């Protein structure tokens, strides 16, 4: 007979009956954990395998590189490639590969702000020597267009060129081609833009109505590539449009709409890693750590800036950088300072948030396009260029509606003479500058006017500009 009391035998028996359930729960939990780990490992392996890498060596960059001032700040060179073979041949078969877009992304050491600096591809600059590599001949030192470097020596030469011109230490590069860009836009579910006028551009394969709308990948590529059918037809106007598009896409990626949706987030990560070619140091692990460190960054703390410029007087169609404003911008980036700290005149509404339609009311051919170039140099967005219905117009006038009144002082401050006139029926924020026979030009840019390097933030809405 057992010495164990009946009550104890009953409790032990009860525990034995419970153990199969406990063992089953542990087994299920272990299986779920292993499944999750397996999925994570599989996802990570896929993302890692997606990224293509190109070596950029010390021999490519030379020995006279600028010093890295801030240890944890990051400067990433971003180029858009317009290589047109394979899937990209439908955009016009052209041999070789060029940089359609050149930008520098600066992420502050404290991860509390970021800047995206665009370099106009028509910039006339002093190019450094680059060594020959692969099938590329290399680059001799000379005065030329900034995007020549990629054709001459590849991404390593472009990297060296930007460092030589700006004295900013670059840490990594990212190259995106046409197909990758389209895939990324589709992965985020499209990107919203606002068009002041309908677009019909055969060259960019783009046909869009006016107004606010969400573009898919194919439409988005045409939108950022289009030049002659939109605005004033200049490369600067295209840069402004690219900046606003990227700002809109950044807002979408950083929104709960993307981050809170695991399926969409994976699609964005998958498309993003497949879309890019990077240096070997910019691994998915580095990208992940950077993304995690930026989770608390407000979209409004991302500034989009075009290097201050003016049209070249020696080579028509080319642009030159305005000094000392350009070097002032580069020092801000190199020293990891906030662009908000740059002192200078501040208009009631920033120039970058003012859209202007130009109407030539004189018989001077090409005057509206000249004025458009002058205003673009200050950071204004040129929405449209045309002629008045009747000529000549005696006085230069700024036409504005109820929603555009606060923008009038900004534009008027930059013109030698212009008379504001309220148009009650106008429902847009856009200002209409009618150029009359009394046109006396745009006021000279002051040396201490740093507003042109302030750019605009990622909360910028082109429909409300």
- Distance CA(366)–CA(157), nearest Å, equals 38
Q: Which pLDDT belongs to residue 304?
A: 87
Mean pLDDT by 10 residues, the chain (465 residues): 53 54 54 44 62 89 87 89 56 60 90 89 93 91 93 93 96 88 88 86 84 91 82 78 86 75 78 86 81 74 86 85 89 84 57 89 92 87 91 94 88 92 80 95 73 66 58
Q: Which pLDDT belongs to residue 38?
A: 42
Q: Which pLDDT belongs to residue 275?
A: 84
Residue with tokens 């490519």: 60
Q: Which pLDDT belongs to residue 240?
A: 83
What's the pTM value of the predicted model, to 2 decimals?
0.76
Q: 315 near 119, Cβ under 8 Å?
A: no
Both tokens of 290, joined, read 């950077």
Any residues with CB less than 8 A from the CB of 141 and at least 6 apart, and which? 126, 127, 128, 129
- Distance CA(142)–CA(126), nearest Å, equals 6
């Amino acid at each position: 007979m057992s010495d164990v009391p009946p009550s104890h035998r009953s409790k032990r028996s009860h525990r034995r009956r419970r153990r199969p359930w406990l063992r089953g729960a542990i087994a299920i939990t272990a299986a779920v954990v292993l499944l999750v780990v397996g999925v994570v490992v599989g996802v990570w392996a896929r993302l890692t395998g997606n990224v293509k890498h190109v070596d950029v060596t010390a021999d490519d960059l030379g020995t006279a590189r600028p010093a890295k001032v801030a240890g944890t700040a990051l400067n990433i060179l971003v180029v858009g490639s317009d290589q047109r073979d394979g899937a990209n041949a439908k955009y016009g078969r052209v041999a070789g590969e060029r940089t359609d877009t050149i930008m520098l992304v600066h992420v502050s050491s404290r991860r509390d702000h970021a800047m995206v600096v665009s370099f106009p591809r028509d910039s006339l600059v002093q190019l450094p020597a680059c060594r020959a590599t692969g099938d590329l001949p290399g680059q001799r030192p000379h005065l030329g267009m900034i995007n020549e470097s990629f054709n001459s020596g590849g991404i390593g030469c472009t990297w060296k060129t930007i460092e030589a011109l700006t004295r900013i230490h670059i840490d990594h590069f990212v190259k995106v081609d046409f197909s990758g860009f389209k895939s990324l836009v589709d992965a985020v579910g499209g990107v919203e833009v606002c068009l002041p006028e309908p677009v019909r551009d055969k060259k960019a394969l783009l046909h869009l109505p006016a107004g606010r709308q969400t573009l898919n990948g194919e439409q988005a590529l045409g939108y950022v590539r289009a030049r002659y059918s939109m605005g004033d037809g200049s490369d600067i106007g295209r840069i402004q449009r690219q900046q606003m598009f990227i700002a809109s896409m950044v807002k979408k990626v950083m929104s709960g709409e993307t981050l809170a949706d695991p399926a969409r987030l994976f699609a964005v990560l998958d498309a993003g890693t497949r879309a890019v070619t990077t240096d070997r140091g910019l691994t998915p692990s580095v990208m992940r750590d950077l993304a995690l460190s930026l989770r608390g960054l407000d979209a409004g703390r991302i500034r989009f800036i075009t290097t201050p410029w003016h049209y070249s007087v020696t080579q028509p169609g080319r642009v030159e950088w305005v000094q000392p404003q350009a070097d002032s911008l580069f020092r801000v980036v190199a020293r990891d300072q906030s662009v908000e700290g740059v002192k200078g005149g501040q208009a009631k509404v920033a120039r970058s948030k003012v859209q202007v339609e130009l109407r030539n009311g004189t018989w001077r051919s090409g005057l509206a396009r000249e004025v458009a170039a002058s205003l673009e140099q200050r950071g204004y967005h040129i929405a449209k260029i045309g002629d008045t219905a009747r000529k000549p117009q005696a006085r230069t006038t700024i036409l504005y509606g109820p929603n555009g009144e606060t923008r009038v002082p900004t534009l008027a401050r930059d013109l030698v003479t212009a008379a504001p006139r309220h148009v009650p029926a106008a429902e847009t924020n856009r200002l209409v500058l009618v150029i009359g026979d009394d046109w006396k030009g745009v006021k000279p840019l002051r040396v201490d006017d740093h507003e042109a390097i302030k750019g605009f933030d990622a909360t910028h809405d082109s429909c409300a500009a």
